[in-house]
Copies of this chain bind each other. A is one copy, B any other.
């Protein structure tokens, strides 16, 4: 059941908070009340639905393409209090980071757990959002998530035939390759050439696993957090081509 709050409008972008089965999300829309494609987004680990990266990407999609954009708080993130399990995993991640140990195994394990919870949440939200007249059923749907947004998005897209184009990037292949092999929609994938957490071999292996006949990889020099801002504009052009 979708509960929408009253809308606020800033510079031509209408923002509405919502909940679906108590999971909080945000929906951004153009002011013009016409049916348009929907892009679902997933935020990064430790962030939330109103992180500046989410707001900025939504604004590009709404003002540049006239699309609707929705994002959910992941379990244990944003308005959703962390469970004891979440807290233990985050403590283990901070412990590994402080000790200079690899973060990958912990992030992969924790994000796999979160994805199992989040995938049905996203599918239920999509069911409800498609009941809105300005989105509707049968229209194009995209998915955009990097880092933890990819850990959730790859199994989501593998399970969800309504999603027809996706932008992913910057995650390990371990738990995602088997899902990626089932994905045949157009993909844009980002990775960082000097990522201190994800090896080149691992990043390329995940890109390679997608069964999509149409897929693009964007590699940039720099470390994990240096993903250039122009890749967001590239993702918007990708969705404009495909949705």
What residues make up the interface of A, taking CB atoms closer than 8 Å to B? 193, 204, 207-208, 212-221, 228, 230, 234, 237, 241
User: How distant is the Cα of A216 from the Cα of B217 in the complex, in angstroms?
Assistant: 10
* A221 with B214: CB separation less than 8 A: yes
With a cutoff of 8 Å between Cβ atoms, the chain B residues found around residue A237 in the complex are 230
* B220 with A216: CB separation less than 8 A: yes
A237 to B, closest residue via Cβ: B230
User: How distant is the Cα of A241 from the Cα of B231 in the complex, in angstroms?
Assistant: 13
Which of B215, B219, B221, B241 is in CB contact (< 8 Å) with A221? B215
Which of B218, B221, B228 is in CB contact (< 8 Å) with A212? B221
Which of B212, B214, B219, B234 is in CB contact (< 8 Å) with A217? B219
A189 to B, closest residue via Cβ: B219
The majority secondary structure among interface residues of chain A is: mixed
A214 to B, closest residue via Cβ: B221
Q: How far is the CB of A85 from chain B (nearest CB, A)?
A: 38
* A219 with B220: CB separation less than 8 A: no
* A217 with B218: CB separation less than 8 A: yes
With a cutoff of 8 Å between Cβ atoms, the chain B residues found around residue A204 in the complex are 204
18 contacts across the A-B interface (CB closer than 8 A): A193-B208, A193-B215, A193-B217, A207-B219, A212-B221, A213-B221, A214-B221, A215-B221, A216-B218, A216-B220, A216-B221, A216-B228, A217-B219, A217-B220, A218-B219, A219-B219, A230-B237, A230-B241
A218 to B, closest residue via Cβ: B218
In the complex, besides A193-B208, A230-B241, 5 extra interface pairs with C-beta distance below 8 angstroms are A193-B217, A214-B221, A216-B218, A217-B220, A219-B219
Q: Which of A214, A216, A228, A237 has the most CB of B within 10 A?
A: A216
Q: How far is the CB of A42 from chain B (nearest CB, A)?
A: 23
User: How distant is the Cα of A157 from the Cα of B2 in the complex, in angstroms?
Assistant: 58
User: How distant is the Cα of A91 from the Cα of B237 in the complex, in angstroms?
Assistant: 43
